[in-house]
Amino acid sequence: MTDLNAGIVLLTVVAIAFGGSFLLRVVGGDVPANELQRTYFRAGHAHAGVLVILGLVVGLYLRGAEVPAWAEAMSGGVLLGAILMPLGFFLSVIGRDPQRPNAMRWCIAAGGISVVVGVIGAGVGLILAG
């Protein structure tokens, strides 16, 4: 991960913090939301924060190691998942009183797969780098 990429990723924490203030307004009753929405909003916020940190940590580990280029490319899946999963959690329950998640729920699964691929790439790359 380049310094530019790391800087951009760090700035996404501002958006995550805004999401936290939104979540507080939802929980406080200032923003109308049903139980499904509250649950998905909490999950989206939590996944965003954790996966951004994981992506930064993976980048730090890879920075000093001589991992193969394919492993470094695969590791980007962690940050891609940090976008896709929260996107799926938030956008799959938009609207007034949804009773079930919409088709955007597939972003949650795609994000999960992306994170797994990214972690496998980084892990195997670090093992090969010795």
Please report, in tens digits, the pLDDT of each residue of the chain (130 residues total). Answer: 778 888 888 888 898 998 889 999 998 999 999 999 999 999 999 999 999 999 999 999 998 899 999 999 999 999 999 999 999 999 999 999 999 999 999 999 999 999 999 999 999 999 999 8
- Rounded Cα distance between 10 and 59, Å, is 12
Computed over every residue of the chain, the mean pLDDT equals: 93
Question: In this predicted structure, what is the pLDDT of residue 64?
Answer: 85
For residue 40, which amino acid is it? Y
Look up residue 98 and give its DSSP letter: -
8-state DSSP, 29: T
What is the separation of C-alpha 13 from the centre of its chain, rounded to a whole number of angstroms? 11
Q: How far apart are CA 119 and CA 42, in angstroms?
A: 24
Counts of helices then strands in the chain (DSSP H, E): 4, 0
Query: Above pLDDT 90, what percent of the chain?
Result: 78
